[in-house]
Amino acid sequence: MRGWSFPLGRWLGVDLRIHTFFVLLLGVSLFATNVVDGSMWRGIVFWLLLLLAVLVREIARLTAAAYYGLQLRTVLLLPIGGLFSYANPDSAERALDPAVETGLALVGPAANIAFAVMIGSLMLGSSFGINLLTRPWITPLYLMRATVWMNLLLGLLNLLPAYPTDGGRVLRGVLTRTEGLAQATKKSTGVSQIVSIMVICAGVLLRSPWLIMAGSFIFIGAQLEDQGVLFQSVVDTVHMRDVMLTDFSTLSPSDTLEDALYKAIHSLQDDFPVVRGPFLVGVVSKQSIIDALRAEGNGYVQGVMSKAFQVAQPEDSLGAMIRRITRGRGLSLIPVTEGGKIVGIVTLQNLMHSMSMLAEHRKRVRDS
């Protein structure tokens, strides 16, 4: 999803991005307005009002996230809302807590509905003869009325039990209490696909392109989430013992950098465990060795190795390893240890190769 988006800058330390589909809606809005009355400025303002409705929702959710102590990295703006990317695995895991997920889910629709009521009340109180129920409700010809219905529709859509809407997150939170996260997500995405088709059908019957587009976004989001659940279920069945390299090179803290570089020439590894006897004491990358040699000349591995690293056990799942790599920025090697002694390594460099070989091995075992 990030690859189909554009940056909007940073707000309170959080990267804001807007999805390409949102930008394409600007073209649709300009075309529709030009057909109706030839006024392009109405199309631009109409699109900005839709962006405003999404921002009202996301500002409320950002405030709630800060209240729950969640650290965000990115907010990706979509026409039906936004997707959070968390700055660390701890925040991501805390966000899946049913109470936190429910709180984050309810504040967005509440903000949109409250904003719609406020704007509608101002319109009715400031001028007589305004009928908010006149159709079409969402049209660039009546921008203030469109603002009311955009926010109301966005709030109500996000109350539907269809992931990734807020109602879908509440449903998943409820199911998680009894069935676990993976099964709860799978069930909620199944419900989401049914609800999205119902929204699309309602859009066709009511001749509402906005409902059709909203249903389509919900359907796509449900498909993406279902793929994510499938991926998670696969990686959680693979253990570090299954994919770790057992034939690897190590360095000693007392090795000189020139000796280490010579060893690196004859190894396919980009990162090396540093051991004292059988015990792991650090990790060092090939690039760190080269940079140190260029900057300061020859020295010892002990001076450039990192002592801050994540360690896995042979029975840890691959999913746990991926979360460790996410936790450590720039980390590309996970040593696998038993009793403090290194027994293998997993690197991003070898992971895809190991996974493909493991898949082939499991297939042959099943077929035999």
Pairing label, strands 333-338, 81-86: unpaired
pLDDT at 152: 92
Report pLDDT digits (tens) over 81-125: 788 888 776 787 788 787 888 888 889 999 999 999 999 888 887
Q: How confident is the model at residue 34 (pLDDT cuts 50, 70, 90)?
A: low
Residue 167 parent element (H or E): helix 166-179
Verify that 354 and 263 share a domain, yes or no. yes
Q: Residue 209 pLDDT more than 70?
A: yes
Verify that 130 and 208 share a domain, yes or no. yes
For 288, the domain range is: 240-367
* Of the residues 213, 235, 257, the one at which a domain ends: 235
Mean pLDDT across 70-80: 85
Verify that 29 and 164 share a domain, yes or no. yes
Verify that 147 and 259 share a domain, yes or no. no
Number of domains in the chain: 2
Closest CA to 18 of 8, 3, 28: 8
CATH of the domain at 322: 3.10.580.10
Q: Residue 217 pLDDT more than 80?
A: no
Q: Pick the residue with more confidence: 231 or 31? A: 31
Query: Which residues on neighbouring strands pair with residue 83, listed in sequence order?
Result: 76
Verify that 164 and 35 share a domain, yes or no. yes
Verify that 52 and 149 share a domain, yes or no. yes
Q: Residue 136 pLDDT more than 60?
A: yes
Which stretches of the chain are assigned E, i.e. beta strand? Answer: 5-11, 14-19, 72-78, 81-86, 271-276, 279-285, 333-338, 341-347
Report pLDDT digits (tens) over 48-59: 998 899 999 999
Verify that 265 and 334 share a domain, yes or no. yes
Verify that 84 and 189 share a domain, yes or no. yes
Q: Residue 36 pLDDT more than 60?
A: no
**What mean pLDDT is reported for the chain?**
81
Is pTM beyond 0.95? Reply is: no
Closest CA to 220 of 21, 31, 17: 21
Query: Which residues on neighbouring strands pair with residue 342, listed in sequence order?
Result: 337
